[in-house]
Every structure is written in structure tokens, then in C-alpha cells.
Structure 1
Amino acid sequence: MVYQLHPLEINPKTGEPFLRLAAPHKNIILTPPRQGDQSVLIQHMNDPAIYGWMKRLPTPYLPEHADFWIQFVKEESDTTLEYLRKSAEDFPNGPLQFVGASPVRHLREVKEDGTDVLIGDVNFRRSPFEEVLDEVERKRLQEDNAKKQAGDPTIQYAIGDWLAVTHHGRGIMTAAVGLLMTAWGIPRMGVRHVVVHTFAGNIGSNRVFEKNGFVNRGPSNNGIIVRGEKKVLTLLDWKYDLDENET
């Protein structure tokens, strides 16, 4: 089991898998979602400094929204971990099996007493192809992309993320995106192409991705309406550099 979880670490007290950010953020870890995360999630999702930059978030964000979301993401994480457990039985000596998601995504700050607090989220998902203006073509691409098996190098991914306002400006999300991509996305999911969209003017988010090798392609106006307001998006994309990653 441990081998198929590589490179995740295991909390010796709880058995929970995690990834730890590198210094100077070694007190920040990525873990699976947990039942009980709802109350903190509600607090942050009702902060305009967070939801103002998010496309598909109900406002106000109510307990039923948090319950639905935690159930959804926890099921994805649990399913991925169960697949890895089964893979450990089927492939005890390898090779490492590709999976379709990351089982760890919730950013938590570990306190000196060992307790931790939820401060953010970062995750891969199949691309919504928001850069494609024709709705019929966009739906076709989404459906084709969704059918592809985990590890298929032609899958187009997106990344979603948020971070508590109290932790902005420290480089935490830049480090978290980089860790998720290099430690899990590339080797364990076969991620080779990622496209993200930010709201025009979201300089901080753009910098997070640019520092991780994404190329800013400029505005992408697909007519999206968010909470009654038309939004222009910025498109950033990343493609796996075979030469760079083989050296």
C-alpha cells in the first residue's frame, strides 16, 4: 500500500496520507478532505476577498453547500485511495499506477501542538474548455476529455484553488501548486497539459501560475456571467517539457 501511495507520507498517529510543502512552508501540508471541514469552509467561502475571484460559488455559502461539497470531494479522495490500496495488492512490486485525481488537496497549517487548521484548497480537474467559445464544440471537448483513461497524456486538466486571506502574500499557493504538479500530477496522474482561467485583474493568481511555468496567453472573453456581472478571463497554460523533465 505504501509503495503505491508514493510520494505521499503517512501520519503515524492518524494513518492519513499527506504531502508537506518545502521550507519555508514546512508547517503546511496537503491532506484529504475531512468530515468536519464544513465550518471553516463556510467561513472562507463567504469572504468576498475569496468568492469575488471564484466563478461558480453560491453566495451566500450555506451549510448545505458545504455539506454537498465536502461529500463530493471526500468521495473522490476516498475512491482514489481505495484504488491505490487495490493496486498495492495487484502490483505489490510496481509499477506505480496512474490515477485520475489527487487524494490530497486541502491545505492545512500545522500548529506547534500538532493540531492543524484548514487554510485552502488546490486540486486538478478535467478541463471545462472555457477558452472554446462555441458551446456545442465546448461540450464535445468536455465529453471526449472526460472519457479518457487516467494517465492519458492528451487529457487537458484545469487547476482550482483558494487560500485564506490571512495567508496571502507568503508564497504558499505558489509552493502548493508546484508541489501538487511535480509530486503528484506529473508522475501519478500523467498530467501533461493544464489550462487555467483567472478573472482579469487577479494579478496574484496569475503570478502563482506564472511562477510555476504557465504562460499567460492574455484575455479570453467567452461571455461568462458571474453573479450578474460579465467577466473577462485571463488564460494561462502549461505543457510538459520532455527535455526539461528528462534531464
Structure 2
Amino acid sequence: MSFKNPQLAPLEVNPATDEPFLRIEGFDDIIITPPRWDDAPRFMPYLNDPRVYQWMQGPPVPYLLSDARKWLGHIRSLSDNVLADLEAARDTPELITVGDCPVSMIRKVNEDGSELQIGAIDIVRCCRWGEVVKSPEDPDIYVVDLTRKVENAKINYERDVGDPEIIWEFGDYLAPAFHGRGIMTAAVKTIMKKWALPRMNTRIVRAVTFSGNIGSKKVFLKNGFRHIITLPDHTIVRGETKTLDVYQWELAQSEEGSAAL
């Protein structure tokens, strides 16, 4: 077993596996870990459950093992790159700023020490909603400008690590058996407070939900996000036209949002 790399702070390390993790605030038995290669078949059933996928835009239905492995490869690469950067900076006195969050899989720790993957939470650069911009006439109002969508997404993706102007976006899901317990609200708070703000210099975060998704709305409002715009009939998901609600958290403009964390 290796000594804990100080650059992992505030991550804890599992003494048996050397795997870093974040403990979700308020839940002694719920943690967030890096994705594991054997996770793919475990989260497939969740993304084939209508109680989960009805509120999600991306996953195809049915969700196949090949889809799970493709997504897992993507998020594993993000996690592995951050962990490699942290290891390379092991002897650096100050904590470095990194470009992603290395933990994303939500797991319940059972009494016997085994772990059950029950969901996921990702915070990534927002590259899908470049059309949502501040109004030229009133910066407190957001409008849709499709002419700048691709350019804005490209600019956001290419900003340097630690740039406070990067717009981040949350994506998440939770196994239906664990809905209604406040786990996701606490998970968002934990990721924001313990990693995104101090280790990524995150200052702007968005969350986009289907209108009618009351559960997700509450998760983000409880964490200091504010509703900035509704996008009527904005996208087609599995043959249905969907209206979207966009929520945003800004450290620089939201004393209430900052206090919520």
C-alpha cells in the first residue's frame, strides 16, 4: 500500500484498495468513487428503467452493454487523466488545479464492506447549451441565440484549466430504490463544495432538466441554483419533443448560492 498522495485532498483513500473516494455529506454509507471497468453491466439496468431514462436525454433505449462500455471508457479516461496529474504533482507543495473530477460513481457501502453502485454524478464542461447566452440589453436575462451555439461551445471547451469563465454542467442519475432520500442533493453539494470549487476553480455551473422533473428541480434549487430560462419544445428525445428548464449557479453573483454550500 502506498502513502496517500497529499494532492488527492480532500479525497479519502480506501486502505484496502488504495482507491480514492469522496464521502457524501450526511451519509456515512454513501460514497463517490472513480468509475471501474466492471461497472458497465451493473449500471445497465438503471438506464433501462423508465423511472430513470424518462428524465434523461442521452442514453439510447434499450441501453446495451456496448453503450455502457463506451460511456465507461469516456468517463474512465477523464478520471484517469486527473489522477495521473495528481500523482505527477505529488511533491508539489500547493494543491494543483485540475480540469475534471476524478470521482463520479455513487456507491452504497454495505455492512460487510461490499459496495453497490447506485448511481452516477458527472460535472463536465458544458458543450451542449452554447445557445443560452446573456441578453446584450440586460445581463441578468438569458436568451437563446442559435447563431453562436457552436462557437460558444467551442470557446468553453478550449478554455484553459482553471479558467473561472468555464461553464460546467451536471449530469446525474440514481437507482429508483434510492429516490427520495436526499442522496442526490447531498451528492451535488459534496462535489461542488469539496472538489469543483477548490480543485477545479469552478465558478459557473449549469443543470438542464426536462420540464416536469420536480425531483431534479429540487436538487439544484436546494444547492443554490436559480432558474435562468425555459426552452419550449427545444429538443426531441426518443421521438418526443421536450421542453427544458435551465438552472445556473454562479459564485460571483450568488451570495445565497454560495451560502447554500
TM-score (norm 1): 0.93
RMSD: 1.7
Residue 20 of structure 2 is aligned to residue 17 of structure 1:
yes
1:22 CA drift (Å) = 2.4
User: In structure 2, how many angstroms separate the alpha carbons of the residues matched to 1:242 and 1:208?
Assistant: 20
User: In structure 1, how many angstroms separate the alpha carbons of the residues matched to 2:131 and 2:226?
Assistant: 14
Does structure 1 retain, via aligned residues, the 8 Å contact 2:207–2:248? yes
**Alignment: residue pair count:** 242
For structure 1, which runs of at least 5 residues remain unmatched after alignment? none
> Partner of 2:81 in structure 1?
79
1:136 CA drift (Å) = 3.9
Percentage identity across aligned positions?
A: 41
1:4 CA drift (Å) = 0.8
For structure 2, which runs of at least 5 residues remain unmatched after alignment? 133-143
> Partner of 2:138 in structure 1?
none
1:130 CA drift (Å) = 5.5
> Partner of 1:235 in structure 2?
246
Q: Secondary structure at the match of 1:161?
A: strand
1:2 CA drift (Å) = 2.1
The residue type paired with residue 119 of structure 1 is I
TM-score (norm 2): 0.88
Residues 85-234 of structure 1: matches in 2 within 5 Å? 85-89=87-91, 91=92, 93-94=93-94, 96-127=95-126, 128-129=128-129, 131-132=131-132, 133-221=144-232, 223-234=234-245
User: In structure 1, how many angstroms separate the alpha carbons of the residues matched to 2:244 and 2:130?
Assistant: 9
The residue type paired with residue 2 of structure 1 is N
Q: Secondary structure at the match of 2:87?
A: helix
Deviations 1:186-233 (A, max 9, x none): 000001001111000000000000000001235223621111111000
Runs of 4+ in 1 over 2 A off after TM superposition: 130-136, 241-246
Q: Secondary structure at the match of 2:177?
A: helix
User: In structure 2, how many angstroms separate the alpha carbons of the residues matched to 1:69 and 1:120?
Assistant: 14
Q: Secondary structure at the match of 2:234?
A: coil
Q: Secondary structure at the match of 2:100?
A: coil
Q: Secondary structure at the match of 1:73?
A: helix
Does structure 2 retain, via aligned residues, the 8 Å contact 1:130–1:222? no
